[in-house]
Chains A and B, each alone.
Chain A
Amino acid sequence: MKGLCLRSLAPDNDKEKKEEAYELVRKGVKHDLKSHVCWHVYGLLYRQDREYKEAIKCYLNALRIDKENIQILRDLALLQIQMRDLSGFVDTRHQLLTLKPSNRSHWITFAVAHHINGNHELAVQVLNQFESTLDEVPASEAYEHSEMLLFAATVLGAGGKPEEALAYLDKRKDKIKDRQGLQELTASLLLRVGRRAEAEAAYRALLEVNPNNYKMHDGLQEALGLRPDANGELTDEARAQLASVYGELQKQYPRSSACRRIPLDFLIGDNFVAAADAYLRGGLTRGVPSLFVDVRPLLAGPVKRVALQRLVEGYRDSLKSKGAYPPLSGGDGSASAPESPQTLVWVLLFLARLYDGQGRLEEALAAIDEALAHTPTLIELHVAKAKVLKHAGDLEGAAHCAETSRRMDLQDRYLNSVAVKALLQAGHCAAAERTASLFTRDGEQGAYTLYDMQHMWYEVAAGRAHAAKGPSGAGPALKKFTAVVQHFNDISEDQFDFHSYCIRKGTLRSYVGMLGMMEKLYGHEFYSKAAAGAVRVYLSLHDSPPGAANGSDEEALLAGMSPEERKKYKLQKKKEEKEKARKAAEDKEREEREKREREKAAAAKGGKKAPAASKREPDPDPEGAKLAATPDPLGEASKLVETLVRHAGSRPASHCLAAEVALRRGRLVVALGAVRRAAQVAPGGLANPDVHALLVRLALAVETSPPENPVVRSVVAAGLQALMGQGSARDYAAAWRKRHGATSLAHRVAAGRAEVLLGGADEAKARAEAVALVLEEDPSASPHDHAECAEVHRLLRDTWGDAAAAERWRAACAAAFPHSRYFGGAQAIALEAAYDFENMREAFGKLSF
């Protein structure tokens, strides 16, 4: 019986076989409840299916029968650390150590267990005891031993005993192989115990190794007591000292860019201008593409921004008139040597990006066009132009510029990525995938390879592009977003192998670092983006379920269009159908061809071997139709929202989405909590427009359908009162509008939305008021975000159904964004007719490497 169970474990890809295996093992367990082997096998089965909780139960059962089975204990420990059952992990490792103290890894893992359980002292004791049992470390294990010593010192430091850590390291420094790691650790410990002179010497020695390591610079400044205070301020005295320190460092390391860049952070006034002048000239003459990104942090403050802009504009004027830089700031006024003609191009590019960052888009485009007329072969110019056009509201033009840049260097992966992203933003999803597939191993199955490579930025961008297409894009969008969510689950799974591997290899410091990273895994930006994207799609699926009202939806859509739009829509639809038919035919043809090839290959092998198994199972749901057809979109959304709130609680969007889901599910207490937390983390608190819109909706929901349970009702009422004060929701919204209603476009929209919601009986009047409030905004008066303006246009036209207002807004925006294709700006650029992205069969530039 048992033998059978074991054998059935082997093929685990087959669903039926899997069921059978479980059945058999269960039978085995039933047959002999007292057999630890049966329970162990049962646990292994669960472990293979990643059901770790169940597996742990099985192992514990097995151990109840056979208390001292090392193999089972070991497996159990792996699961416990994977599930972060820390106290259980410590216990299990303790048992293992008592059972077999001769094993080195048992000692070390026990120490690790104590360390991650927060018990640093015990961890060090364990390590010390183990060390005392060793007589001589064999040469083959010297490195592992050294890692262990460094780990012990790190643990001491983490346990609040830096002095002991120093003493510990000092005693064993001959045995430590990682000299660099030792030096860095010692230096940081010296700093912690306040032995500043020694710390300074240590950091200076480390700078000798690599004068461009910013961490060492930070340490040196710390040791000298010259770090800015909590507000980022330095005293004049400290600034002067730093300046002289860096003057010396620059002499000592003339080739170090860090030594020249860092003073720009702390210098002010004329000293700053002189240092920045020298720094910028160096970068511009050499044509360093990253110069702008390098100095971008300095642009946050208005004083330095103005100074930098004045400098670079001075270069431009002087280079144009004299072909040379102006005399150096703070220099002796002597004329500069003539520059290469190319310097002017880099100066123009720098200025374009500077203007772009300030929303001065037309000036930015003018600078780029001037540079393009000068040297059209500088690829960075096309990339920058794509970026500015995106901000100016011409996504199609941006895609064209990005494509041009990509074609200029077909082997450049960065340019390929830029083009793919621009194509997605312009809505050309198929073209984007084909372009991205140029860099995958197997072009035919590009999508698979992109998934296998966990190509997350692509999947997030593609998901957003599909989602922007409305209901028809829901399936593919969910497919991409859930793929990213799945990647994170896979990454979390992948740590499983490292629990034993890292101990065996003795890389304890990296191992503990990895465990810490895993704790924060789901807080990663990509996870938040993908999960939030999926939640939004689920919400829209809930709000307008597909299928049921499909026909009438389309009619309603058509009715709302002008004749030209209707024509365009129909044409588009016809095209889509044609494309679909063509694709289906292509797929069929390909399948048949592959089948023929397979048969041929099989015949060539003399029919000995079955067709190669390398061919992948076709994805049962390539377009995500099944995902979009979920009967419970809110349920799916709330699962994701839960993770978001738990791991990305510092992002306002997490709580806003949680509130959206809770409002739709009628969970008012949950919604209240989410709104409260959103107000805590969002900039502006209750003045934040997103928070305000949600709060008003919550108040309205409570008003129209108060919770039945009296306790819930009083909790919600009290909570609302704490946020909005005594008055009614109307009073609160009116007061908010008075205070914040004109702060920004987003504030206006939030106030307008509240107006419409609370309008009650006289909906038309409320809507007119909201429209008037929004239209007071002048998009030309200050830099606006094009995407936000487009959003407002759709709100006016579709949600509020005011065509005249929408047209007025469009005209105002067309004036503010003359390059905008969306608003029909007067200066939209000419497109390259040869780039027909929608009917692209194959991306340009397939290289035969």
Chain B
Amino acid sequence: MASGKRELPVSFDIVREKNLEQLKLLNNVIFPIKFPDDMYRQCMACGDLTQLAFHNDILVGAIAVRCEKQPSGKAKAYIATLGVLAPYRGFAIGSKLLERSLGGCLQDPNIEEAYVHVQVDNEEAIRFYQRHGFTAGETVKDYYKKLTPPDALILSKKLAA
């Protein structure tokens, strides 16, 4: 997703009951894991942190984010999924999605940090998050039960507070 030279007009929307199935279908195609319905419900409840990208009114990419309450009373934004359909990669749609979602996080002063799990060998994704100001943290052993390698790297970004 490096080139970024070509632009594709995209519009954005939030996820709601009526188009939730589209988000599920999109993620089922992009990711090797099937996410539980609970995860989608939680993301849908978090309003505009979850963003859908449409090209010509057709869903081509999405970021699903949910808020996690911390004991301190503050909250963290957890990026559950961020994916763009293969033919539409290289048009900076993923970056736009992440920026919009993080922009939504900044609106909420309670959210102090955004973080994400990435499979350790997914260098492209790791570089992508680093470009957007995320820093690598600890590695979680055996995070993915059905994938190899099963380990996940946590990347996080402090949000201005």
Task: Please encode chain A, from 177 to 201, with 1 for each CB lying within 8 Å of some chain B CB and 0 for all others.
Answer: 0000000000000000000000000
Q: Is the Cβ of A374 less than 8 Å from the Cβ of B87?
A: yes
Contact at B85–A287, with CB atoms within 8 Å?
no
Q: Which of B8, B55, B58, B60 has the most chain A CB atoms inside 10 A of its CB?
A: B58
Q: B29 near A: Cβ within 8 Å?
A: yes
* Residues of A in contact with B, size category: 20 to 34
Assign chain B's interface to a size class: 10 to 19
Give A72 Cβ to nearest chain B Cβ, in Å. Answer: 57
**B56 touches A (CB below 8 Å):** yes
**Judging by beta carbons under 8 Å apart, are A407 and B55 in contact?**
no
A-B contacts, 28 listed (Cβ < 8 Å): A286-B56, A287-B57, A287-B58, A340-B8, A340-B55, A340-B56, A341-B88, A342-B55, A342-B56, A342-B60, A344-B87, A374-B85, A374-B87, A375-B85, A376-B26, A376-B85, A377-B22, A377-B59, A404-B25, A407-B21, A408-B22, A409-B22, A410-B17, A410-B18, A410-B21, A847-B17, A847-B18, A848-B17
Q: A341-B88, A374-B87, A409-B22 are in contact. List 18 more A-B contacts (CB 8 A).
A: A287-B58, A340-B56, A341-B8, A341-B87, A342-B58, A342-B87, A344-B87, A375-B58, A377-B22, A377-B25, A377-B58, A377-B59, A377-B60, A377-B85, A378-B58, A410-B17, A410-B18, A410-B21
Chain B, residues 77-106, CB within 8 Å of chain A (1/0): the string is: 000000001011000000000000000000
Chain A 375-410, CB-CB to B under 8 Å as 1, else 0, gives 111100000000000000000000000001001111
Interface: B6 (CB within 8 A): yes
Say whether A338 faces chain B, with CB atoms less than 8 Å apart. yes
Contacts of B26 in A (CB 8 A): 376-377
Nearest CB of A to B102, in Å: 24
Q: Closest residue of chain B to A406, judged by CB?
A: B21
Instruction: Give Cα distance in the complex from A287 to B57, angstroms.
Output: 9
Query: Is B19 in the interface zone, CB < 8 Å from A?
Result: yes
**How far apart are the CA atoms of A587 and B59 in the complex, in Å?**
42
Residues on the A chain within 8 Å of B88, using CB:
341-342
Contact B19–A408 (Cβ < 8 Å): yes
Nearest to B58 among chain A residues (CB) is: A378
* Closest partner residue, chain B, to A341 (CB atom): B87
Report the bound CA distance from A324 to B70 in whole Å. 51
CA distance A377 to B87 in the complex (A): 12
The reply to whether the CB of A411 lies closer than 8 angstroms to some CB of chain B is: yes
Q: Chain B contacts of A286 at CB under 8 A?
A: 56
| Pair A409/B19 contact, Cβ less than 8 Å | yes
Contact with A along B1-33 (1 / 0, CB 8 A): 000001010000000011101100110010000
Residues 343-381 of A, flagged 1 when their CB comes within 8 A of B and 0 if not, give 010000000000000000000000000000011111000
A residues near B85, Cβ cutoff 8 Å: 374-377
Across the interface, B60 reaches (CB within 8 A) one of A344, A375, A409, A411, namely A375
Residue of B with least CB distance to A846 = B17
List the B side residues contacting A377 at CB < 8 Å: 22, 25-26, 58-60, 85
CB distance from B85 to the nearest CB of A (A): 6
Nearest chain B CB to A386 CB, angstrom units: 16
The distance in angstroms between the C-alpha atoms of A404 and B22, with both chains bound, is 10
> How far apart sit A187 and B57, CA to CA, in the bound complex (Å)?
42
Interface set, chain A 426-485, CB cutoff 8 A to B: none
Complex Cα gap A341–B18 (Å): 26
User: Complex formed: what's the CA distance from A344 to B85 in Å?
Assistant: 14
Taking CB atoms and an 8 Å cut-off, the chain B residues in 41-83 that contact chain A are: 55-60
Shortest CB-to-CB span from A374 to chain B, Å, is 6
Instruction: Tell me the bound Cα distance from A22 to B88 in angstroms.
Output: 76
Complex Cα distance, B60 from A341, in Å, reads 11
B6: chain A residues at CB < 8 Å are 338
With the chains together, A409 CA to B56 CA distance in Å? 16
Closest B residue by C-beta to A411 = B18
Report B97 CB to chain A, min CB distance, Å: 15
For B21, the closest partner residue in chain A by CB is A407
CA distance A344 to B55 in the complex (A): 14
Q: How far is the CA of A376 from the CA of B29 in the complex (A)?
A: 8
Q: How far is the CB of B83 from chain A (nearest CB, A)?
A: 12
A287–B18 Cα distance when bound, in Å, is: 22
B60 proximity list for chain A (CB < 8 A): 342, 375, 377
Least CB separation from A373: chain B residue: B29
Q: Which chain A residue shows the least CB distance to B88?
A: A341
Residues of B within 8 A of A848 (CB): 17
Give, as a whole number of angstroms, the nearest-CB distance from B43 to chain A. 17
Q: In the complex, A374 Cα to B26 Cα: how many Å?
A: 11
Q: Which residue of A lies closest to B56 (CB)?
A: A287
Residues of B with C-beta under 8 A to A338:
6
- Determine the distance from Cα of A155 to Cα of B148 in the docked complex, in whole angstroms: 83
Chain B residues with Cβ below 8 Å from A342 are 55-56, 58, 60, 87-88
- Provide the residues of chain A in CB contact with B55, threshold 8 Å: 340, 342
Once the chains are docked, how many angstroms separate the CA of A258 from the CA of B102? 46
In the bound complex, residues from chain B placing their C-beta under 8 Å from that of A410 are 17-19, 21
Residue ID in chain B nearest A380 by CB atoms: B58
Closest to A286 in B: B56
Complex Cα distance, B25 from A342, in Å, reads 18
CB distance from A283 to the nearest CB of B (A): 12
CA A374 to CA B87, docked complex, whole Å: 7
In the bound assembly, the distance between CA atoms of A411 and B17 in angstroms comes to 9
In the complex the two chains form, is B58's CB within 8 Å of A409's CB?
no
Chain B nearest CB: distance from A318 CB in Å? 16
Instruction: Tell me which residues across on chain A come within 8 A of B29, comparing CB atoms.
Output: 376
Please give the distance in Å from B13's CB to the nearest CB on chain A. 12
Shortest Cβ distance from B62 into A: residue:
A377
